[in-house]
Protein backbone atom coordinates (compact mmCIF):
# COMPACT_ATOMS: atom_id res chain seq x y z
CA UNK A 1 0.00 0.00 0.00
CA UNK A 2 1.44 3.38 -0.97
CA UNK A 3 1.37 6.00 1.80
CA UNK A 4 1.45 9.77 1.52
CA UNK A 5 1.79 12.39 4.23
CA UNK A 6 -1.22 14.48 5.00
CA UNK A 7 -1.09 16.41 8.27
CA UNK A 8 -4.62 17.87 8.27
CA UNK A 9 -6.83 14.97 7.34
CA UNK A 10 -8.67 14.91 10.66
CA UNK A 11 -10.16 18.32 9.87
CA UNK A 12 -11.71 17.33 6.54
CA UNK A 13 -15.35 18.22 6.02
CA UNK A 14 -17.81 16.15 3.98
CA UNK A 15 -17.46 18.68 1.15
CA UNK A 16 -13.69 18.61 1.22
CA UNK A 17 -13.67 14.84 1.17
CA UNK A 18 -15.08 14.95 -2.36
CA UNK A 19 -11.67 16.16 -3.55
CA UNK A 20 -9.58 13.42 -1.98
CA UNK A 21 -7.17 11.26 -3.94
CA UNK A 22 -7.04 7.54 -3.28
CA UNK A 23 -4.08 5.36 -4.09
CA UNK A 24 -5.12 1.93 -5.41
CA UNK A 25 -3.73 -0.84 -7.56
CA UNK A 26 -5.00 -1.88 -10.94
CA UNK A 27 -5.37 -5.51 -12.05
CA UNK A 28 -1.72 -5.56 -13.04
CA UNK A 29 -0.61 -4.40 -9.60
CA UNK A 30 0.31 -0.88 -10.73
CA UNK A 31 -0.64 2.13 -8.59
CA UNK A 32 -3.34 4.43 -9.94
CA UNK A 33 -5.18 7.48 -8.57
CA UNK A 34 -8.94 7.61 -8.14
CA UNK A 35 -9.99 11.22 -8.51
CA UNK A 36 -13.15 12.53 -6.90
CA UNK A 37 -14.16 16.07 -7.70
CA UNK A 38 -16.32 18.42 -9.74
CA UNK A 39 -19.04 15.81 -9.90
CA UNK A 40 -16.90 13.46 -12.00
CA UNK A 41 -15.46 10.23 -10.73
CA UNK A 42 -12.94 7.64 -11.91
CA UNK A 43 -12.82 4.46 -9.88
CA UNK A 44 -10.87 1.24 -9.74
CA UNK A 45 -12.53 -2.05 -8.85
CA UNK A 46 -12.74 -2.49 -5.07
CA UNK A 47 -12.06 -5.89 -3.51
CA UNK A 48 -14.89 -7.08 -1.31
CA UNK A 49 -15.56 -9.85 1.15
CA UNK A 50 -19.13 -11.17 1.12
CA UNK A 51 -21.45 -9.83 3.79
CA UNK A 52 -24.25 -12.08 5.04
CA UNK A 53 -27.32 -11.64 2.84
CA UNK A 54 -29.97 -9.24 4.19
CA UNK A 55 -27.73 -8.22 7.12
CA UNK A 56 -26.92 -4.53 6.80
CA UNK A 57 -25.63 -4.28 10.36
CA UNK A 58 -23.15 -7.16 10.21
CA UNK A 59 -20.49 -7.28 12.88
CA UNK A 60 -16.93 -8.29 12.01
CA UNK A 61 -17.49 -11.71 13.60
CA UNK A 62 -20.29 -12.34 11.06
CA UNK A 63 -18.18 -11.49 8.01
CA UNK A 64 -16.34 -14.48 6.53
CA UNK A 65 -12.63 -13.84 6.27
CA UNK A 66 -12.61 -10.72 8.46
CA UNK A 67 -11.74 -10.69 12.14
CA UNK A 68 -11.40 -8.02 14.81
CA UNK A 69 -7.84 -6.88 15.29
CA UNK A 70 -7.25 -7.35 19.02
CA UNK A 71 -3.48 -7.32 18.57
CA UNK A 72 -2.10 -3.81 19.01
CA UNK A 73 0.94 -4.88 17.04
CA UNK A 74 4.41 -3.37 17.43
CA UNK A 75 3.27 0.24 17.67
CA UNK A 76 3.53 0.87 13.96
CA UNK A 77 0.69 3.31 13.07
CA UNK A 78 0.34 1.59 9.68
CA UNK A 79 -1.20 -1.38 11.53
CA UNK A 80 -4.34 0.71 12.07
CA UNK A 81 -4.59 2.08 8.53
CA UNK A 82 -7.24 0.40 6.31
CA UNK A 83 -6.34 -0.97 2.92
CA UNK A 84 -9.91 -1.28 1.62
CA UNK A 85 -13.51 -0.28 2.29
CA UNK A 86 -16.42 -2.66 1.89
CA UNK A 87 -20.03 -1.53 1.24
CA UNK A 88 -23.30 -3.27 2.01
CA UNK A 89 -26.96 -2.36 1.58
CA UNK A 90 -29.59 -5.12 1.71
CA UNK A 91 -27.16 -6.94 -0.59
CA UNK A 92 -23.61 -8.09 -0.17
CA UNK A 93 -21.11 -6.09 -2.24
CA UNK A 94 -23.83 -4.14 -4.08
CA UNK A 95 -23.38 -2.57 -7.50
CA UNK A 96 -25.61 0.34 -6.48
CA UNK A 97 -27.81 1.83 -3.82
CA UNK A 98 -31.35 2.40 -5.16
CA UNK A 99 -33.24 5.14 -3.31
CA UNK A 100 -37.00 5.59 -3.88
CA UNK A 101 -38.36 9.11 -3.94
CA UNK A 102 -40.40 8.94 -0.74
CA UNK A 103 -40.12 9.92 2.92
CA UNK A 104 -37.55 8.38 5.23
CA UNK A 105 -38.90 5.24 6.88
CA UNK A 106 -37.79 1.83 8.11
CA UNK A 107 -36.13 0.27 5.05
CA UNK A 108 -32.86 -1.55 4.49
CA UNK A 109 -31.99 -1.38 0.78
CA UNK A 110 -31.34 2.37 0.82
CA UNK A 111 -29.13 2.20 3.92
CA UNK A 112 -25.41 2.17 3.08
CA UNK A 113 -22.92 0.57 5.46
CA UNK A 114 -19.17 1.02 5.07
CA UNK A 115 -16.59 -1.18 6.81
CA UNK A 116 -12.89 -0.33 6.86
CA UNK A 117 -10.59 -3.31 6.91
CA UNK A 118 -6.95 -4.10 6.53
CA UNK A 119 -5.37 -6.99 4.65
CA UNK A 120 -1.79 -7.92 5.43
CA UNK A 121 0.30 -11.01 6.06
CA UNK A 122 -1.73 -11.81 9.20
CA UNK A 123 -5.05 -11.90 7.34
CA UNK A 124 -7.96 -9.49 6.94
CA UNK A 125 -9.53 -7.67 9.86
CA UNK A 126 -11.68 -4.64 10.55
CA UNK A 127 -9.87 -1.53 11.76
CA UNK A 128 -11.35 1.38 13.69
CA UNK A 129 -12.15 4.38 11.54
CA UNK A 130 -14.39 7.40 11.33
CA UNK A 131 -16.15 7.91 8.00
CA UNK A 132 -16.53 11.14 6.10
CA UNK A 133 -19.45 10.79 3.67
CA UNK A 134 -20.35 12.86 0.64
CA UNK A 135 -22.50 12.67 -2.48
CA UNK A 136 -21.05 13.88 -5.78
CA UNK A 137 -24.23 15.65 -6.96
CA UNK A 138 -26.41 16.92 -4.12
CA UNK A 139 -29.10 18.02 -6.60
CA UNK A 140 -29.83 14.30 -7.07
CA UNK A 141 -29.55 13.04 -3.49
CA UNK A 142 -28.39 14.02 -0.02
CA UNK A 143 -27.81 12.27 3.28
CA UNK A 144 -30.43 12.05 5.98
CA UNK A 145 -27.98 12.77 8.76
CA UNK A 146 -29.03 12.09 12.32
CA UNK A 147 -27.65 14.55 14.91
CA UNK A 148 -24.35 13.37 16.29
CA UNK A 149 -23.94 10.65 13.66
CA UNK A 150 -21.94 12.47 10.99
CA UNK A 151 -18.97 10.08 11.18
CA UNK A 152 -20.86 6.79 11.53
CA UNK A 153 -20.26 3.76 9.33
CA UNK A 154 -23.97 3.69 8.32
CA UNK A 155 -25.79 6.44 6.41
CA UNK A 156 -29.14 6.75 4.63
CA UNK A 157 -29.26 8.67 1.33
CA UNK A 158 -32.41 10.60 0.45
CA UNK A 159 -33.55 10.98 -3.18
CA UNK A 160 -34.28 14.48 -4.48
CA UNK A 161 -36.12 13.57 -7.70
CA UNK A 162 -36.98 10.71 -10.06
CA UNK A 163 -36.72 10.18 -13.80
CA UNK A 164 -40.07 11.90 -14.46
CA UNK A 165 -38.60 15.17 -13.18
CA UNK A 166 -35.72 15.09 -15.69
CA UNK A 167 -35.31 15.55 -19.43
CA UNK A 168 -33.90 12.01 -19.78
CA UNK A 169 -37.23 10.22 -19.56
CA UNK A 170 -35.93 6.64 -19.57
CA UNK A 171 -32.89 7.06 -17.33
CA UNK A 172 -32.89 7.21 -13.56
CA UNK A 173 -31.02 10.14 -12.00
CA UNK A 174 -27.59 8.89 -10.99
CA UNK A 175 -24.76 10.10 -8.79
CA UNK A 176 -22.09 8.65 -6.51
CA UNK A 177 -21.80 8.03 -2.78
CA UNK A 178 -18.28 8.53 -1.41
CA UNK A 179 -17.13 7.16 1.95
CA UNK A 180 -13.66 8.04 3.25
CA UNK A 181 -12.23 6.17 6.24
CA UNK A 182 -10.07 8.13 8.69
CA UNK A 183 -8.06 5.95 11.11
CA UNK A 184 -8.91 6.65 14.76
CA UNK A 185 -5.43 5.95 16.12
CA UNK A 186 -3.92 9.41 16.82
CA UNK A 187 -0.53 8.27 15.53
CA UNK A 188 -1.98 7.22 12.17
CA UNK A 189 -3.14 10.72 11.18
CA UNK A 190 -0.13 10.99 8.88
CA UNK A 191 -1.78 8.63 6.42
CA UNK A 192 -4.25 9.91 3.87
CA UNK A 193 -7.88 8.75 4.28
CA UNK A 194 -8.93 5.84 2.11
CA UNK A 195 -12.02 6.44 -0.04
CA UNK A 196 -14.42 4.16 -1.89
CA UNK A 197 -17.45 4.87 -4.08
CA UNK A 198 -20.89 3.40 -4.74
CA UNK A 199 -23.30 4.33 -7.53
CA UNK A 200 -26.63 5.80 -6.39
CA UNK A 201 -29.87 5.75 -8.45
CA UNK A 202 -33.07 7.67 -7.68
CA UNK A 203 -35.97 5.24 -8.16
CA UNK A 204 -39.63 5.96 -8.86
CA UNK A 205 -41.80 5.61 -5.75
CA UNK A 206 -44.56 3.00 -6.24
CA UNK A 207 -45.39 2.48 -2.58
CA UNK A 208 -49.07 2.87 -1.72
CA UNK A 209 -52.46 1.68 -2.99
CA UNK A 210 -53.23 1.25 -6.69
CA UNK A 211 -56.48 0.80 -8.60
CA UNK A 212 -56.09 -2.05 -11.16
CA UNK A 213 -58.38 -3.13 -13.98
CA UNK A 214 -58.08 -5.43 -17.00
CA UNK A 215 -57.37 -9.13 -17.47
CA UNK A 216 -57.34 -11.10 -14.16
CA UNK A 217 -58.73 -8.16 -12.16
CA UNK A 218 -62.27 -7.78 -10.77
CA UNK A 219 -64.33 -4.77 -11.84
CA UNK A 220 -63.10 -1.28 -12.62
CA UNK A 221 -60.99 -0.94 -9.48
CA UNK A 222 -59.39 -3.99 -7.97
CA UNK A 223 -57.43 -2.18 -5.27
CA UNK A 224 -54.27 -3.38 -3.60
CA UNK A 225 -50.91 -1.86 -2.89
CA UNK A 226 -47.16 -2.23 -2.67
CA UNK A 227 -44.52 -1.61 -0.08
CA UNK A 228 -41.14 -0.71 -1.54
CA UNK A 229 -37.56 -1.11 -0.39
CA UNK A 230 -35.05 0.15 -2.94
CA UNK A 231 -36.08 -1.57 -6.18
CA UNK A 232 -37.91 -4.37 -4.39
CA UNK A 233 -41.70 -4.45 -4.35
CA UNK A 234 -43.84 -6.47 -1.93
CA UNK A 235 -47.60 -6.83 -2.10
CA UNK A 236 -49.47 -5.47 0.90
CA UNK A 237 -49.33 -8.05 3.66
CA UNK A 238 -46.53 -10.01 2.00
CA UNK A 239 -43.04 -10.46 3.39
CA UNK A 240 -41.73 -11.83 0.08
CA UNK A 241 -40.13 -9.88 -2.74
CA UNK A 242 -43.02 -9.97 -5.21
CA UNK A 243 -41.60 -7.62 -7.82
CA UNK A 244 -39.21 -4.86 -8.79
CA UNK A 245 -38.99 -1.51 -10.55
CA UNK A 246 -36.18 -0.24 -12.75
CA UNK A 247 -36.48 3.07 -14.58
CA UNK A 248 -39.97 2.91 -16.20
CA UNK A 249 -40.19 -0.90 -16.11
CA UNK A 250 -42.27 -2.74 -13.47
CA UNK A 251 -42.79 -6.45 -12.84
CA UNK A 252 -44.59 -8.33 -10.07
CA UNK A 253 -46.26 -11.68 -9.34
CA UNK A 254 -49.72 -12.03 -7.75
CA UNK A 255 -52.02 -15.05 -7.42
CA UNK A 256 -49.96 -17.11 -9.87
CA UNK A 257 -49.93 -14.40 -12.55
CA UNK A 258 -46.91 -12.41 -13.66
CA UNK A 259 -47.50 -8.78 -14.58
CA UNK A 260 -45.06 -6.80 -16.68
CA UNK A 261 -45.66 -3.11 -17.29
CA UNK A 262 -44.38 0.35 -18.07
CA UNK A 263 -44.80 3.58 -16.13
CA UNK A 264 -46.39 6.45 -18.04
CA UNK A 265 -45.63 8.59 -15.00
CA UNK A 266 -45.25 7.95 -11.28
CA UNK A 267 -49.04 7.49 -10.90
CA UNK A 268 -50.04 5.39 -13.93
CA UNK A 269 -48.80 2.09 -15.37
CA UNK A 270 -49.99 -0.37 -17.97
CA UNK A 271 -48.85 -3.70 -19.36
CA UNK A 272 -49.44 -7.37 -20.11
CA UNK A 273 -50.12 -10.42 -17.94
CA UNK A 274 -49.52 -14.17 -18.21
CA UNK A 275 -49.16 -17.19 -15.97
CA UNK A 276 -46.04 -17.12 -13.82
CA UNK A 277 -43.44 -19.34 -15.50
CA UNK A 278 -45.07 -19.14 -18.94
CA UNK A 279 -44.34 -16.90 -21.92
CA UNK A 280 -47.96 -17.02 -23.13
CA UNK A 281 -49.86 -13.75 -22.61
CA UNK A 282 -53.43 -13.66 -21.30
CA UNK A 283 -54.26 -10.00 -21.82
CA UNK A 284 -53.57 -6.43 -20.76
CA UNK A 285 -54.03 -4.33 -17.63
CA UNK A 286 -53.59 -0.83 -16.31
CA UNK A 287 -53.40 0.82 -12.89
CA UNK A 288 -53.66 4.27 -11.34
CA UNK A 289 -52.15 5.22 -8.01
CA UNK A 290 -54.77 6.11 -5.43
CA UNK A 291 -54.43 9.37 -3.49
CA UNK A 292 -53.40 9.22 0.13
CA UNK A 293 -56.33 9.23 2.57
pLDDT at 86: 92
Main-chain dihedrals φ then ψ at residue 137, nearest 5 degrees? -125, 100
Burial of residue 290 (CB within 10 Å: 0-12, 13-18, 19+) is middle
Q: Can you tell me the distance from the alpha carbon of 185 to that of 251, in angstroms, rounded to the nearest whole number?
A: 49
Q: Can you tell me the distance from the alpha carbon of 102 to that of 84, in angstroms, rounded to the nearest whole number?
A: 32
Q: Residue 43: name the closest of 170, 136, 141 by CA.
A: 136
Q: Can you tell me the distance from the alpha carbon of 121 to that of 67, in angstroms, rounded to the nearest whole number?
A: 13
Does the pLDDT of residue 136 top 60, yes or no?
yes
pLDDT at 78: 62
Does the pLDDT of residue 6 top 50, yes or no?
no
pLDDT at 224: 95
Q: Can you tell me the distance from the alpha carbon of 75 to that of 6, in angstroms, rounded to the nearest whole number?
A: 20
Query: Coil, helix or strand for 79?
Result: helix
DSSP 191: B
pLDDT at 289: 96
DSSP 17: G
Structural domains for the chain: 9-203 (2.60.40.60), 208-289 (no CATH)
Q: What is the pLDDT of residues 35-62, one digit of tens each?
A: 333 332 333 333 333 333 333 333 333 3
Q: Can you tell me the distance from the alpha carbon of 261 to that of 245, in angstroms, rounded to the nearest whole number?
A: 10
Sign of the torsion angle spanned by Cα atoms 145, 84, 67, 184: negative
Q: What is the pLDDT of residues 74-91, one digit of tens each?
A: 456 566 788 899 999 999
Q: What is the pLDDT of residues 201-232, one digit of tens each?
A: 999 999 999 999 999 999 999 999 999 999 99
**Cβ-based neighbours of 26, under 8 Å, separated by 6 or more:** 32, 44
**How many helices and strands, by DSSP H and E, does the chain display?**
0, 22
Amino acid sequence: MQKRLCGIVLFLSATASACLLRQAEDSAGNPSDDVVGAGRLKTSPVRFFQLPQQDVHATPEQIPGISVNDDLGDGNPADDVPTDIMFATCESSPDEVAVPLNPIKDRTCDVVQAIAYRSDDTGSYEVSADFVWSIADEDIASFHFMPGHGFDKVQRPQAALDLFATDVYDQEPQTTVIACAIPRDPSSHLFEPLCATLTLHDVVDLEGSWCFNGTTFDGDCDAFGFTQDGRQLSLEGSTAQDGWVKAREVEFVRNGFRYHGSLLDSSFMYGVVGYDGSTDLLGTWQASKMPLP
